[in-house]
Amino acid sequence: MPENNEGVVAKITDAAGETRTIVEEAVAYFTDPAIWVSFIIIVIKIIVIFIVGRIVSRIANRMIEHMIRERESSPLKFDQRRTKTIGKLIGNVIGYTINFILLLLILNQLGINLAPLLAGAGVLGLAIGFGAQSLVKDVITGFFIIFEDQFGVGDIVQIGNFKGTVEEIGLRVTRVRSWTGEVFIIPNGSIRDVTNFSIYNSVAVVDISVAYEADVDKALELMRETAKRLFESNEDIVKEPEVLGVQNIGNSDVVLRMTAECKPNKHIPISRIIKAEVRKAFEMNNIGVPYPKIVNLTRIERAE
């Protein structure tokens, strides 16, 4: 058995004709000061690029906020809902653009040639465009939602089975937060029917039941007095409530109806307030509430 183990260890011959092992070559590479200086310079450039990108993004967001405040305080009354929605959309587009540019600059610092990468991305984007038709549909639908002002950020809407406050409208998805705190993320392409509760005034329809023995005329008068008092004290009621009269006669009650025009989406809390105040007025004036009654008739037969 030969004592020389030189055949077992891989060797590298450099340009000068000197033969070195892979381990020696690796040690020489990582101990070369020029390599470390170049590596540190690249890291510093990447950090600077990242910091500059964050600064540009923050400046852009501040400019958008300033633009929105200027439009809201302008003597020309712009729609605040649409202004806020467009502001969020512009912020999202600027954020995506800045992040994409940062990625390209960082890849360039790492020595990656961007020309074939961009060409390949174009071909890949074309292929994705054919395959991801739902994504294209989401983007187009999101554009028309904003362009036609179907609803805006802050509106209370119902989209299918989801009802809540619109928190964000993007080009791909819309975020809706329910009153119990859940956040629904809805693809724009799946939005078919939308009910917007925040554009026009709403109407509170209040039905009050009284007993058959109650004085209906007095109950109606108390409802009118309560309606007038609430209209003067509550800013959410835009028009004096109207007492319509007897709505229904049930088995054990008489239903009286009142309507009140309110600010958008305020009909539910106004309905609760009206019911509570009318109930108090009825109690103070002895207007009885309905309850089921049972009348027993006993026939007494007399002996002849």
Identify the three-state secondary structure at position 158: strand
Q: How many CB atoms lie within 10 A of CB 1?
A: 2
**How large a percentage of the chain has pLDDT more than 90?**
7
Q: How many CB atoms lie within 10 A of CB 297?
A: 4
User: Does residue 37 fall inside a structural domain?
Assistant: no
CB–CB of 155/141 below 8 Å?
A: no
- Alpha-carbon distance of 153 to 87, in angstroms, equals 10
User: Could you give phi then psi for residue 148, rounded to 5 degrees?
Assistant: -85, -5
User: Does residue 136 fall inside a structural domain?
Assistant: no
DSSP states of 121-138 as a string? HHHHHHHHHHH-HHHHHH
User: Does residue 92 fall inside a structural domain?
Assistant: no
- Please report the pLDDT score of residue 3 as a whole number: 46
Q: What is the CATH number of the domain that holds 277?
A: 3.30.70.100
Per-residue pLDDT tens digits for 240-276: 888 988 888 887 788 999 999 998 888 889 999 999 9
Confidence of residue 7 (pLDDT cuts 50, 70, 90): very low
Identify the three-state secondary structure at position 243: strand
User: Does residue 229 fall inside a structural domain?
Assistant: yes
Helices 267-284 and 216-233 sit at what angle, rounded to 10 degrees? 130
The total domain count for the chain is 1
| 287: amino acid identity, one letter | I
User: Does residue 130 fall inside a structural domain?
Assistant: no
DSSP states of 34-99 as a string? HHHHHHHHHHHHHHHHHHHHHHHHHHHHHHHHHHHHHHHTSSS---HHHHHHHHHHHHHHHHHHHH
Weakest mean pLDDT among 25-29, 98-102, 141-145: 25-29
Mean pLDDT, residues 215-229: 90
Could you tell me the residue range of the domain that residue 218 belongs to?
202-284
Higher pLDDT, 138 or 156: 156
Higher pLDDT, 112 or 287: 287
Average pLDDT, the chain: 78
User: Does residue 217 fall inside a structural domain?
Assistant: yes
User: Could you give phi then psi for residue 6, rounded to 5 degrees?
Assistant: -65, -25
- pLDDT of 36 higher than 50: yes
- pLDDT of 200 higher than 70: yes
Nearest to 146 by CA among 98, 194, 96: 194
User: Does residue 220 fall inside a structural domain?
Assistant: yes
- Alpha-carbon distance of 256 to 282, in angstroms, equals 13
Identify the three-state secondary structure at position 72: helix
Identify the three-state secondary structure at position 154: coil
Q: How many CB atoms lie within 10 A of CB 51?
A: 10
User: Does residue 219 fall inside a structural domain?
Assistant: yes
User: Could you give phi then psi for residue 288, rounded to 5 degrees?
Assistant: -75, 150
Q: How far is CA 200 from CA 76, 195, 264, 266, in A?
A: 21, 12, 6, 11
